């Protein structure tokens, strides 16, 4: 059956979402999971945009060997050179060149003529082709450009060596019938189109990204660019899980397949949510908390009799476990490890030992441990792997007739214990003030969110925060049965990311 190439741009376009910030190790962790998921192409970053992005692409290219590792480049020689330098260590490297094509962007942003754009496109594809065989080209904002001009660009870049040509709906403007006509026009009006793979990249500004992508497949496109959880610029990108599961569930209609191991979808979604700090809305298709929950009595009755009455997908097909092991403080390391495996986690022995100790500590406070509790424990372990300062102790005093006071003890990078105390407008503010006195890194708290991971009075509370320093946003998450402790962990997580970024930037300069 006809295969559709899944091009994942979570690490490039996805990270461009306002408030997202991933360091090189976090990108590598996601790239490894995307490899397990079975994506065909990983767009690992935009190397010319920053030293951090260059390093992330270089690291992923060296470590993740099965999929194509793609580096994005604007249409200038330096950017193409940087893309090659960062990705040349990959087993299967690709350079993806882009340049605006709509008259709107040419007139107001680039101030160049169509002939100039055509020449630049041809030259930069040829330059990328001098390094490697696999070159992709995107005429940015193609859906607001004149179709005849897009045909002309595509013919020129294919002649110059492009092996994939991508049609971006950069601002999420087009509708499915219009997109179908554009794709069909390209397939009939571009003489050499059969020499390249036709790809699409859809944004979700009007909520049509997945629909447009699927319409493009029907029309003949065979590569879909998408992101996990649909994250990305503004309203985001086409959602990988929605497209893949639509193609799988309605294979009778679409008649195509992908190489995706769908049992890894849920795990991948949770990892991306955890590391980017973007929560998944409860009613999100495929992977939302409510996607397989039924409240209506009529629906419940049908599902109990036969799941297919109201469920078009088996939750196990995306990696949600069907069985439930009830874990408690009496459960052993083996049972804990088995449940981790069922949930899709593979930890090193050291990480497993830390997570198991956290499980035993939590089990002393909770009667039963749920899957969401376990996921939180593993996420906590992932967060601590990049620690510079470690939260060792936090204590607060507060009430409606007292001044909120916090005492905090941190372990510094050199192993020294550092303690301080502070007053605040509330207990969390006091904790943050005390931490700031120790770490001494100026920053501004821009977001603070608390939610319960599970139900019940003994539920784990999860805190998500964002801080800003020098115009860059850093996300932090923390979880604990004590919400003050969770708040302190979240702040330390964000600060450690900030400190790691500054350290890496300093290393590059020296």
In this predicted structure, what is the pLDDT of residue 509?
A: 46
CA-CA distance, 342 to 390, in Å (whole number)? 30
CA-CA distance, 448 to 52, in Å (whole number)? 26
Phi/psi-derived region of residue 434, left when phi > 0, alpha when psi is between -120 and 50, beta in every other case: alpha
Does pLDDT of 371 surpass 90?
A: no
Does pLDDT of 96 surpass 60?
A: yes
Asked if 398 and 421 sit in the same domain, the reply is yes
Number of domains in the chain: 4
Closest CA to 481 of 364, 337, 382: 364
Token pair for residue 221?
Answer: 């496109």
Question: Domain end: 383, 403, 419, which one?
Answer: 383
> pLDDT tens digit string along 120-147?
999 999 999 999 999 999 999 999 999 9
Asked if 65 and 37 sit in the same domain, the reply is yes
CA-CA distance, 36 to 38, in Å (whole number)? 5
Residue 49 sits in which domain range?
Answer: 2-276
Task: Specify the CATH number for the domain of residue 47.
Answer: 3.20.20.70
Asked if 263 and 410 sit in the same domain, the reply is no
Asked if 339 and 411 sit in the same domain, the reply is no
User: Is 284 contained in some domain?
Assistant: no
314 band by pLDDT with thresholds 50, 70 and 90: confident
> Can you point out the beta strands (E) in 220-272?
223-226, 256-257
Asked if 373 and 409 sit in the same domain, the reply is no
User: Is 232 contained in some domain?
Assistant: yes
386 band by pLDDT with thresholds 50, 70 and 90: low
Asked if 99 and 224 sit in the same domain, the reply is yes
Asked if 211 and 359 sit in the same domain, the reply is no
> pLDDT tens digit string along 50-86?
998 999 999 999 999 999 999 999 999 999 999 999 9
User: Is 283 contained in some domain?
Assistant: no
506 band by pLDDT with thresholds 50, 70 and 90: low
Asked if 361 and 432 sit in the same domain, the reply is no
Question: Domain end: 383, 411, 427, which one?
Answer: 383
Q: pTM of the prediction?
A: 0.84
User: Is 206 contained in some domain?
Assistant: yes
pLDDT: which is higher, 36 or 354? 36
Asked if 249 and 351 sit in the same domain, the reply is no
pLDDT: which is higher, 383 or 173? 173
Asked if 378 and 267 sit in the same domain, the reply is no
Task: Specify the CATH number for the domain of residue 432.
Answer: 3.30.160.270
Question: Domain end: 383, 400, 424, which one?
Answer: 383
Mean pLDDT, the chain, rounded, equals 90
pLDDT: which is higher, 210 or 19? 210
Asked if 60 and 6 sit in the same domain, the reply is yes
User: Is 281 contained in some domain?
Assistant: no
In this predicted structure, what is the pLDDT of residue 74?
A: 97
């Amino acid at each position: 059956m006809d295969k559709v190439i899944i091009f994942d741009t979570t690490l490039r376009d996805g990270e461009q979402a306002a408030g997202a910030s991933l360091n090189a190790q976090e990108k590598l962790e996601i790239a490894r999971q995307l490899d397990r998921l079975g994506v065909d192409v990983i767009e690992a970053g935009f190397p010319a945009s920053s030293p951090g992005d260059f390093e992330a692409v270089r690291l992923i290219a060296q470590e993740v060997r099965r999929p194509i590792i793609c580096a994005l480049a604007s249409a200038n020689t330096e950017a193409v050179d940087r893309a090659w330098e960062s990705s040349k260590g990959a087993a299967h490297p690709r350079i993806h060149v882009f340049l605006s094509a709509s008259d709107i962007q040419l007139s107001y942003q680039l101030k160049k003529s169509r002939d100039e754009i055509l020449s630049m496109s041809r030259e930069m594809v040829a330059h990328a082709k001098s390094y490697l065989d696999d070159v992709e080209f995107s005429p940015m904002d193609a859906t607001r450009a004149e179709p005849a001009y897009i045909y002309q660009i595509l013919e020129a870049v294919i002649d110059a060596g492009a092996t994939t040509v991508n049609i971006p709906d950069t601002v999420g403007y087009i509708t499915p019938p219009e997109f179908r006509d554009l794709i069909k026009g390209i397939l009939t009006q571009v003489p050499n189109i059969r020499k390249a793979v036709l790809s699409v990249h859809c944004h979700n500004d009007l909520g049509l990204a997945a629909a447009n992508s699927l319409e493009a497949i029907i029309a003949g496109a065979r590569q879909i660019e998408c992101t996990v959880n649909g994250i990305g610029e503004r309203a985001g990108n086409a959602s990988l899980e929605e497209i893949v599961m639509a193609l799988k569930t309605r294979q009778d209609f679409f008649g195509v397949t992908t190489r995706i191991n769908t049992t890894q979808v849920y795990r991948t979604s949770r990892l991306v949510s955890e590391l980017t700090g973007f929560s998944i809305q409860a009613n999100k298709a495929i992977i939302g908390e409510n996607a397989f929950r039924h409240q209506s009595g009529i629906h419940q009755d049908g599902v109990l009799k036969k799941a297919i009455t109201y469920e078009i997908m088996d939750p196990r097909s995306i990696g949600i476990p069907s069985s439930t092991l009830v874990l408690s403080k009496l459960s052993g390391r083996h049972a804990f490890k088995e449940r981790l495996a069922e949930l899709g986690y593979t930890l090193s022995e050291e990480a497993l030992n830390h997570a198991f100790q956290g499980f035993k500590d939590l089990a002393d406070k909770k009667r039963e441990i749920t899957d969401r509790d376990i996921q939180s424990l593993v996420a906590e372990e992932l967060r601590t792997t990049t620690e510079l300062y470690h939260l060792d102790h936090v204590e607060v005093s507060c009430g409606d007739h007292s001044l909120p006071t916090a005492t905090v003890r941190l372990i510094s990078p050199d192993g020294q214990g550092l303690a301080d105390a502070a007053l605040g407008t509330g207990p969390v503010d006091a904790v943050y003030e005390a931490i700031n006195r120790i770490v001494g890194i100026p920053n501004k708290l821009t977001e603070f969110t608390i939610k319960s991971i599970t139900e019940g009075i003994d539920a784990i509370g999860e805190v998500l925060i964002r801080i800003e320093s020098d115009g860059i946003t850093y996300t932090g998450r923390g979880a604990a049965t004590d919400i003050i402790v969770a708040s302190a962990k979240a702040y330390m997580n964000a600060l450690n990311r900030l400190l790691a970024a500054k350290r890496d930037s300093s290393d590059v300069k020296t």
